[in-house]
């Protein structure tokens, strides 16, 4: 898949691998790194060159099965550059949380390899993998104050003195702006506050890899939007390689350097978010990414026209792409459909009847049923200008159509990105 991608924000902090190089990874050097990284973070940071390979986390053919019947993850391969944020997105039960737990060492893959900083971590205890994880329900230790929660990992795994732990905790708390909460217990905090403390518990350990498991799902919408930005900023300031699991495509589209779309334990596409949107690898990605999702029409490839519940002419640029494929699925984004007040004679305009219109502010969604059966959704600027039960024409511009091989689901044609209507973003 396409994953050429430039990082324009790389304020990678003090080189994290220093402590793993010539000197043994004593904790004191770790502390220095943490402190240094925070200083860099607050100073704005100097752009730094990545390590030679630049690969911080690599999963190779990772498979996880439970018993004989259930396969949670199948042959999953993906690698993350240092400082990259990869969003694992997919419907529930697609194996994304299992993947995260395998990286953390909470579960072992049935087969395949997981490498962190170039070294296989299979069989290592979670603490030895130097990952940190944030959970959907925060999983703060209920009987401990925020201070104890954040410091617990340091106390368990290092020989830091009480003063040193306290200093680390204070520093992490400052980064996350939870200093006033340090002596409170989780049950007296709001969800957002608990989330910050949970993030503090993760960053205080100066992890190589940051694992976030649906961290915003339990927050209300306003807070979620704010925390989304904050987590992004935090991740960029600290420059920690991060795997972010979510089922929310807004988070997937806005947060990730790249998005890995998962379905049934298999990766469908790994690409920068806009690529997933504009050039979905297959029907699943096409329909999963984008809101409202892409309209699809399953057709048969006739000589001059695609036939099915409705007919659509085989014109350029579709003719070449569809050549030799018998069963094709036409995909069209709602914002690429224009709603004409009445059906004209053009073959690319399909007669339809409006079912419902949904004004959502600066644009409106028009849900309509094509003459011939299938329902489609169009997104138009401003108010819809049509009403329920109106007969309209839906224009599907040939240069805006995606084509998929119906049998394999694979994409066979994408429209030029340049022809996209500038007025509409994907989300």
Partner 1 sequence: MTNNEPQSDGGTPVETDTIRQEQPTSRLRRLAETITAPATVDAAVYVLYAVAVVFFVFPALWVVSASLRPEGELFSYPFRLLPSEISLTAYQQVIDAGVATWLVNSTLVTILGVGGILLVSVPAAYAFSRFEFRGRRGLLGIVLLFQMISPVIIIVPLYTVMSTLGLLRTRAGLVLLYVGIQTPFSIWLLKGYFDTVPMELDYAARIDGCNRLQTLRYVLLRPVAPGIAVVGIFNTVLTWSEFVLAFTVLRSESRLHTISIGVYKFQGQYGNDWRAIAAASVIGMLPLVLVFLGLQRYFVKGLVEGSLKG
Q: Which residues bind partner 1 (CB under 8 A)?
A: 101, 104-106, 125-127, 131-133, 135-143, 152-153, 156-157, 185-188, 201, 205, 218
Nearest approach, Cβ of 145 to partner 1 (angstroms)?
A: 11
DSSP string of 249-277, one letter each residue: HHHHHHH-SEEEEEETTEEEEEE-HHHHH
Residue whose CB is less far from partner 1, 205 or 236:
205
Residues comprising the chain, all counted: 427
Residue whose CB is less far from partner 1, 44 or 123:
123
Nearest approach, Cβ of 250 to partner 1 (angstroms)?
A: 22
Say if CB 25 and CB 295 are below 8 A apart.
no
Nearest approach, Cβ of 127 to partner 1 (angstroms)?
A: 4
Residue whose CB is less far from partner 1, 99 or 136:
136
DSSP string of 90-103, one letter each residue: -STTSSHHHHHHHH
Task: Please give the C-alpha separations between residue 20 and each of 23, 75, 78, 83, in angstroms, as whole numbers.
Answer: 7, 30, 24, 17
Nearest approach, Cβ of 183 to partner 1 (angstroms)?
A: 13
Determine the Cα–Cα distance for residues 38 and 101; give it in Å rounded to an integer: 27
Determine the Cα–Cα distance for residues 279 and 292; give it in Å rounded to an integer: 16
Q: Which residue has the tokens 């004004």?
A: 359
Strands 85-89 and 241-246: parallel
Nearest approach, Cβ of 43 to partner 1 (angstroms)?
A: 29
Residue whose CB is less far from partner 1, 1 or 144:
144
Residue whose CB is less far from partner 1, 101 or 236:
101
Determine the Cα–Cα distance for residues 166 and 172; give it in Å rounded to an integer: 10
Residue whose CB is less far from partner 1, 248 or 371:
248
């Amino acid at each position: 898949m396409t994953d050429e991608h430039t990082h324009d924000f790389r304020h990678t902090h003090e080189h994290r691998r220093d402590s793993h190089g010539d000197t043994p990874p004593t904790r004191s050097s770790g502390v220095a790194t943490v402190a240094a990284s925070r200083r860099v973070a607050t100073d704005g940071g100097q752009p730094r060159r990545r390590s030679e390979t630049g690969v911080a986390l690599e999963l190779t053919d990772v498979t996880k099965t439970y018993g004989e019947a259930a396969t949670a993850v199948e042959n999953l391969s993906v690698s993350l550059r240092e400082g990259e944020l990869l969003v694992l997105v997919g419907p529930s039960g697609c194996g994304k949380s299992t993947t995260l737990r395998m990286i953390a060492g909470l579960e072992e893959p049935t087969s395949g390899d997981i490498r962190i900083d170039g070294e296989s971590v299979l069989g290592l205890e979670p603490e030895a993998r130097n990952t940190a994880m944030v959970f959907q329900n925060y999983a703060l230790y209920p009987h401990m104050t925020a201070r104890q929660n954040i410091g617990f990992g340091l106390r368990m795994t290092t020989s830091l003195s009480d003063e040193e732990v306290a200093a680390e905790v204070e520093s992490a708390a400052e980064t996350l702006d939870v200093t006033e909460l340090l002596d409170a217990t989780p049950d007296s905090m709001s969800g957002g506050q608990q989330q910050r403390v949970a993030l503090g518990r993760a960053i205080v350990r100066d992890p190589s890899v940051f694992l976030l498991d649906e961290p915003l799902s339990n927050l209300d919408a306003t807070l979620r939007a704010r925390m989304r930005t904050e987590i992004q900023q935090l991740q960029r300031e600290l420059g920690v390689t991060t795997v972010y699991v979510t089922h929310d495509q807004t988070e997937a589209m806005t947060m990730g350097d790249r998005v890995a779309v998962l379905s049934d334990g298999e990766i469908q596409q790994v690409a920068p978010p806009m690529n997933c949107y504009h050039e979905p690898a297959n029907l699943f990605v096409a329909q999963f990414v984008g809101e409202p999702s892409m309209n699809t029409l399953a057709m048969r490839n006739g000589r001059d026209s695609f036939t099915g519940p409705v007919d659509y002419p085989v014109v350029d640029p579709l003719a070449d792409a569809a050549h030799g494929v018998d069963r094709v699925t036409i995909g069209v984004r709602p914002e690429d459909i224009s709603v004409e007040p009445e059906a004209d004679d053009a073959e690319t305009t399909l007669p339809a009847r409006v079912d419902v219109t949904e004004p959502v502010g600066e644009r409106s969604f028009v849900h309509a049923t094509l003459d011939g059966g299938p329902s489609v959704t169009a997104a138009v600027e401003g108010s819809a200008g049509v009403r329920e039960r109106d007969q309209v024409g839906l224009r599907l511009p040939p240069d805006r159509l995606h084509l998929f091989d119906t049998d394999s689901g694979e994409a066979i044609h994408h429209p030029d990105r340049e022809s996209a209507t500038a007025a509409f973003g994907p989300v």
